[in-house]
Structure 1
Amino acid sequence: MTVTTTVAELHEQLATDTPPVLLDVRWALGDPHGRAHYAEGHIPGAVYVDLVTELASAPSPRGGRHPLPSVTDLQRAARAWGIQEGQPVVVYDDLGNTAAARAWWLLRYAGLGRVTLLDGALGAWRAAGLPLESGLPADPGPGDVVLRAGALSATDADGAAELAASGLLLDARAAERYRGEVEPVDPRAGHIPGAVSAPTGENLAADGTFRPADELRKRFEDLGAGTAGRVGVYCGSGVTAAHQIAALEIAGFEAVLFPGSWSAWSADPDRPAAKGSRP
């Protein structure tokens, strides 16, 4: 399936009689002001999506900081965003799509095939000199989309441990967090033993778009994806790991998400933590 939509393609689609639903997932770790940033300027017609309240359920030690929402709750939110059955959806943020990928993954997981990320995110729209609008838009009207879980694969801590031992488990966090040198938010520093460091930022070119498919394929092959029977990804709380899964799909690989990620793993004192640059 297609993972991305270019700015030129989106601009053209928005001018048709059947435009896609456009979702703005303005979120960053430590910044609770996503709605305000959205109101300051967003792509015309975009609907604001709150990652914490709409793309996650309540945090818990077992589920981590951003557990997956129930499909019932996700469907309620998707209908509030105005998504109609069969309608395409384009998602973006202002952070290289590292937050927007959570919405992309969740909607794909829930059975929507026509969901893409705006390649280059809001920065690419700005760079093209295209207009923004401010304020909060009118209610998009109720959608009727029906969601069903399971179209993409997810796993728990036991499954992540198994992937680290017998497949390939990629850690999408920054390298210093993987090595255990810093840990700004979670209970312990380090990484899941056997996991391989693969920072999400390395999926992107200098302009914030995804690197070409052949470059991404070589990146993940060099990390072991070409010979691994199964590939899994985790990060801090299952958000940027979704971006890694998008990059893997562009490269031609399927991957499993560990939604609880390090926030859930490190909250369990019985789970071991490794430190340093080696798995």
Structure 2
Amino acid sequence: MKNIAVIDSGSGGLTVANELFGRLPDERIIYVGDHGNCPYGNKSIKDIKASVYRIIRFLGRFELKLLIVACNTATALMLDELKEKLDIPVIGVIEPGAQMAAETTQNRRIGVIATQRTADSHMYQQTIRKKLDGAEVFEQACPKLVSYLENNDTRPGEITSALEEYLAPLRRANVDTLVMGCTHYPLAEQQILKVWGGPVNLVDPARATIDQAVQTLKTNGDLSLAPEGSHLFFTTGDAGEFSQKVKKWTPVDAPVVLTVPDEDPQINRPPGPSTAS
């Protein structure tokens, strides 16, 4: 059985998984959320890569046909590296989101809200400009949002206050298109629109990412023609807490949620070219 793997720093990648559930109902999804190390956006590059490679090594026990890196921070830092090391297709979320933004804007002024690490990489800015001549891209780091959205005890007023702070510069920049450059942010889509307070084209890269995933599977002849079995959800954090989020944020009523086991320290190294295949 060949599976599609979705990895993220926490629960935000469930927004990508939801698109998969709707578009490819016959596929079996293996989701891994690195809640034990979330959020990635404020961590060092070294620590982020170590965390992602731990997940990749864990996924080596499954037969995969596609890996979706549903974390914008990991996509910005190491997508090309993962493509080089793995022998299955690897799709990130930045290029599809940038393409959608370039096709959507009317005034060529595009805002991007993202984690600190993604904003610092300027990957959205570079990618959008390659796809749209003359585009002006305004990137805004939102360091509090992921922690707020992952924390069940966060008060709505805290999220609203943070959004007012982060969105104000983008409103002043007169952007007509706003990219949610972190897969957690669609969980606050209605709050974003309310705080924005006017017309804006809101881009969720998850939708464009799954368009690319579907095309990749078709091209490779890897689309499933019959249901492949129950989806699996893994976490490096608390399985009970993650199970509640899966139930809340996805259509999966009785999710199978398990904890990623601790590694043997002797295998704590990047994967070789054939790992996770």
* TM-score, normalised via structure 1 length: 0.31
Which structure shows the bigger proportion of residues in strand conformation? Answer: 2
Richer in helix (by share): 2
